[in-house]
Amino acid sequence: MKVIVTDKIADKGVELLEAAGYDVNKAWDIPKDELPKIIGEYDAIVIRSATKVKGDLLEAAKNLKVVGRAGIGLDNVDLAKCKERNIVVRNTPNATTDTVAELALAYMFALARPIVKATTTMRKGEWAKKQLKGTELLGKTLGIVGCGRIGSALARKAHAIGMKIVGCDVVEIHEACVDQCEMVDVFTQADYISLHLPLLPDTKHLIGKETIAQMKDGVCIINCARGGTLDEGAVYDAIKSGKIRGVALDVWEKEPIELDVSKKLLELEEVIGSPHIGAQTKEGQERAGIQVAEAVIEELKKL
């Protein structure tokens, strides 16, 4: 059987696929718009977030039996069409849980203590000590919107440093350190709000003008989940008005950043950001590569 890997994964993952006897094409350097021309001969595809298994690619994948996603989100896979064609879709929900949670926590520290501004001013030769007064996370309330694996991992870490945790989710929350609330209560109580949601029709622009109005003055917002769950224009306006004190974004409405509003956000001193690096650690990527390879092998062996 033939497996194509269209987004680079850890070497150990590729080695596992090859050791299992599969013909593996390490095709991550092939332009994505060229993939429909060759996908038809493959039984399985291994992806991360860059490859979209939908549209022309999925239509051309006549022999496809398994999709392996090295990561959590599946918004780049047409799940309905895969189900219709009996294509098995597997992801790695546990591989980068703590990886992403740690980035969210790091962003909370960076919003509480102006580390980025301190570094920037020192590089300019300035000693701006008096301008760099921060706040403590100890005793503050963290609101988690989406208490799944990553949200729960963040809750445990934040609880360990003395924060109060309130959260909301569509299912019952089992984390002992999280007080389960309605979403509006999370917004009204939290000093810091961290999003851990997929991008769905009912979560698009969940953080917008109306929900921001419910929040405390001086709130900080962190999004290491999916771009589009936060209305960047509304957030920009709320920062300019003083309603929001700080924002940390690892994900954006359009990636790579193209929209003027995203660029405008990055012009604000109150905003810090990164180019969707939530899962980008050596350890997390190795786990993801190994786990996705194991999942693909497991499914192909059933055929």
- pTM of structure: 0.90
- The per-residue pLDDT for 297 is 98
CA–CA separation, 58 and 76 (whole Å)? 11
Residue 192, CB half-sphere, CA atoms under 13 Å: how many? Answer: 27
- The per-residue pLDDT for 36 is 98
Domains of the chain (ranges, CATH numbers)? 2-95+282-301 (3.40.50.720), 97-273 (3.40.50.720)
Dihedral sign of CA atoms 114, 119, 120, 124 in order: positive
Are 42 and 63 contacting, i.e. CB atoms less than 8 angstroms apart? yes
pLDDT in tens for each of the 303 residues of the chain?
999 999 999 999 999 999 999 999 999 999 999 999 999 999 999 999 899 999 999 999 999 999 999 998 898 999 999 999 999 999 999 999 999 999 999 999 999 999 999 999 999 999 999 999 999 999 999 999 999 999 999 999 999 999 999 999 867 787 889 999 999 999 999 999 999 998 989 999 999 999 999 999 999 999 999 999 999 999 999 999 999 999 999 999 998 887 788 999 999 999 999 999 999 999 999 999 999 999 999 999 999
Measured from the Cβ of residue 173, the count of other Cβ atoms closer than 10 Å reads: 21
CA–CA separation, 47 and 69 (whole Å)? 5
- The per-residue pLDDT for 170 is 67
Enzyme catalytic residues = 226, 255, 276
CA–CA separation, 223 and 204 (whole Å)? 13
- The per-residue pLDDT for 18 is 98
Are 293 and 22 contacting, i.e. CB atoms less than 8 angstroms apart? no
